[in-house]
Chain A
Amino acid sequence: VNATPTNMTTLLLSEEQTMLADSARKWVARHGAPTSSEAGDAERWRSMAELGWLALPLPEALGGLGGSTVDLCTLAEALGQAAQPTPWAAAAVLGAGLLAQAAPEAVAAEWAPLLAEGHRRVAFAAFEPGAQRALSPQITTAQRTAGGWQLNGSKALVLGGPADAWLLLARLHDRHDELGYFLLPRSAPGLRVESGRLVDGQPVCTLQLQGVQLHGALRTGPAEDLLAMADTAQARATLAHGAELVGAMAQALQLTLDYLKTRRQFGKPIAANQVVQHRLVDLHVQIEEARAITRAAAAVFDGAALPLRRRWCAAAAACVAQAAHHQWEEVLQLHGAIAMTQEHDIGRYIKRLAVGRQLHGDAHGHLARLADLSLPNTD
């Protein structure tokens, strides 16, 4: 429990990681325009494929770049600075990453190049309506038929943008303690996709499955094993999402500093007031801590024993969620009325942070998990 991340690894970025962050920052400057249209999304996705960012989360055995979790978080933080709606972490890290693990080797090998080159996009439909963030399926079931499987149920709050197929977990009809991973093509008869957006512009959809026929399952087995696989993939993606939020917070603070240094009230810049300066310092310190703990959790993710990894993941997610909540409220207040309008860029960041602090689990949930993992069981 007392082991620290630095017992085993460094928290400093390598030269390659620094270069990755630099190229991502340049990319953000070119592509960061806040268009949330499908055409804009497709263009950014193609560009990410060319840069190798869609191959980064995929294992080398499948022709991917086998990026470490620190690599992924480094890229995610730089992308987060743009607060744009391209769902890299949701689709490339979680969707593609989990498919590579859950699918049989032949299927994974067939999909990997298509995913890496951006020709196909797979998202993980993780949660069910009203079930918060529970990964274990309750209402989505799969029943064996003569020709394969029939699926019924529903998945909600599916991130990842315009996917070509969705990966999902279903409860097996005839075996209560087993689950199955299924890959659901967009064109599957019986599948209804309801697309929408979150309040920050991110694409989201709900899947309704009514008698969907599939030839095969990717994998079936004990619920415990299949959930552990989903939990690991989800934890890795939550770290990447956290890093995106750190990037968004840093950029939001930069915009706030720029604004308060130039906007004058009562004969001096707003930032000349000590009470404002101290609040800005608190925001800065909070971002530095959120960045450091996210880096630490990412650094232990690939090598450390499960309990240590889970503790750092929970702590990092809690810290980021708390920070995102505090930051959006503060940068809004410090900007004043202009932050309530569409005319200033800060609005995109405020919405992204307000959404992000809840979307990947709120601070209460992560803190409760951290307490469970850290304290002796008192039951």
Chain B
Amino acid sequence: MALEANATLFVERSQAGERLGAEVSMLKLRGSRLIQLWEELTVDALGPEALVLDPAALVDGDGTHDWLAGTASSRRFLARGYTIAGGSSEIQHNILAKQVLGL
């Protein structure tokens, strides 16, 4: 809910005509981490059953692999990509440090 409120505030500032800068990096930083925590929580909630590989769940209706529809465990692994792709969390930290905090 904090991320939702923060994102809403950025959207409204943008709609009010403000040119947003590097500070929006914080949404990527926190959003990607939230997805990971969510997927971890799913794995924890399911317990050891989350560890069983279910090949059927990985195959979409048209026979292609749908990785996001996979088991909780494989979704958990895939979610690690969010903090790497699109500017890793380390890069987001650097951007915020330099451009927002002036370090």
Tell me whether A261 is interfacial, beta carbon within 8 Å.
yes
- Are A284 and B5 in touch, CB under 8 angstroms? no
Q: How far is the CA of A117 from the CA of B23 in the complex (A)?
A: 42
- Are A277 and B6 in touch, CB under 8 angstroms? no
Q: Within the complex, what minimum Cβ distance (angstroms) separates B25 from chain A? A: 9
Are A257 and B5 also in contact (CB < 8 A) when A11-B12, A12-B12 are? no
- Are A289 and B6 in touch, CB under 8 angstroms? yes
Chain B: CB-nearest residue to A276: B103
Tell me whether B3 is interfacial, beta carbon within 8 Å.
yes
- Are B103 and A280 in touch, CB under 8 angstroms? yes
Binds B, one of A155-163, A204-212, A292-300, A347-355: A292-300
- Are B103 and A315 in touch, CB under 8 angstroms? no
In the complex, per-residue mask of B29-59: 1 if CB is within 8 Å of any chain A CB, else 0: 1100000000000000000000000000000
Are A289 and B97 also in contact (CB < 8 A) when A4-B8, A261-B103 are? no
Within 8 A of B (CB), among A309-360: 312, 315-316, 319
Q: How large is the interface on B (under 10, 10 to 19, 20 to 34, 35 or more residues)?
A: 20 to 34
Task: Name A's interface SS.
Answer: helix
Within 8 A of B (CB), among A267-289: 271-272, 274, 277-278, 280-282, 284-285, 288-289
- Are A292 and B96 in touch, CB under 8 angstroms? no
- Are B6 and A293 in touch, CB under 8 angstroms? yes
Q: How far is the CA of A319 from the CA of B3 in the complex (A)?
A: 11
Additional pairs, 11, CB under 8 Å, beyond known A11-B9, A278-B90, A289-B2: A10-B12, A12-B9, A257-B101, A277-B93, A278-B93, A280-B97, A284-B26, A285-B26, A315-B1, A315-B2, A319-B2
Chain B: CB-nearest residue to A280: B101
Give the A interface residue count (CB, 8 A). Answer: 29
Q: How far is the CA of A290 from the CA of B101 in the complex (A)?
A: 18
- Are A5 and B103 in touch, CB under 8 angstroms? no
Q: How far is the CA of A308 from the CA of B28 in the complex (A)?
A: 27
A-B contact pairs, 6 of them (CB 8 A): A5-B5, A277-B94, A280-B101, A284-B96, A292-B6, A293-B5
Q: How far is the CA of A282 from the CA of B94 in the complex (A)?
A: 11
Task: Name B's interface SS.
Answer: helix
Chain B residues near A288: list those with CB within 8 A.
6, 23, 26
Q: How far is the CA of A292 from the CA of B1 in the complex (A)?
A: 9
Tell me whether A377 is interfacial, beta carbon within 8 Å.
no
- Are B26 and A296 in touch, CB under 8 angstroms? no
Residues of B with Cβ closer than 8 Å to A?
Answer: 1-6, 8-9, 12-13, 16, 23, 26, 29-30, 90, 93-94, 96-97, 100-101, 103
Our pick among A271, A277, A285, A292 for the contact of B8 (Cβ within 8 Å) is: A292
Q: How far is the CA of A5 from the CA of B100 in the complex (A)?
A: 27
Q: Within the complex, what minimum Cβ distance (angstroms) separates B102 from chain A? A: 8
Tell me whether A187 is interfacial, beta carbon within 8 Å.
no
Q: How far is the CA of A319 from the CA of B4 in the complex (A)?
A: 13
Chain B residues near A285: list those with CB within 8 A.
26, 29-30, 96
Q: How far is the CA of A278 from the CA of B93 in the complex (A)?
A: 6
Our pick among B4, B97, B101 for the contact of A4 (Cβ within 8 Å) is: B4
Q: How far is the CA of A295 from the CA of B7 in the complex (A)?
A: 12
Q: How far is the CA of A82 from the CA of B93 in the complex (A)?
A: 28
Chain A residues near B97: list those with CB within 8 A.
274, 277-278, 280-281
Q: How far is the CA of A296 from the CA of B94 in the complex (A)?
A: 28
Residues of A with Cβ closer than 8 Å to B?
Answer: 4-6, 10-12, 257, 261, 271-272, 274, 277-278, 280-282, 284-285, 288-290, 292-293, 295-296, 312, 315-316, 319
Chain B: CB-nearest residue to A283: B101
Q: Within the complex, what minimum Cβ distance (angstroms) separates A275 from chain B? A: 10
- Are A5 and B8 in touch, CB under 8 angstroms? yes
Chain A residues near B101: list those with CB within 8 A.
257, 277, 280-281, 284
- Are A292 and B9 in touch, CB under 8 angstroms? yes
Our pick among A11, A284, A295 for the contact of B100 (Cβ within 8 Å) is: A284
- Are A11 and B5 in touch, CB under 8 angstroms? yes
- Are A11 and B8 in touch, CB under 8 angstroms? yes
Chain A residues near B100: list those with CB within 8 A.
281, 284
Are A293 and B96 also in contact (CB < 8 A) when A11-B12, A281-B101, A285-B29 are? no
Chain A residues near B3: list those with CB within 8 A.
289
Q: How far is the CA of A280 from the CA of B9 in the complex (A)?
A: 22
Chain A residues near B6: list those with CB within 8 A.
288-289, 292-293
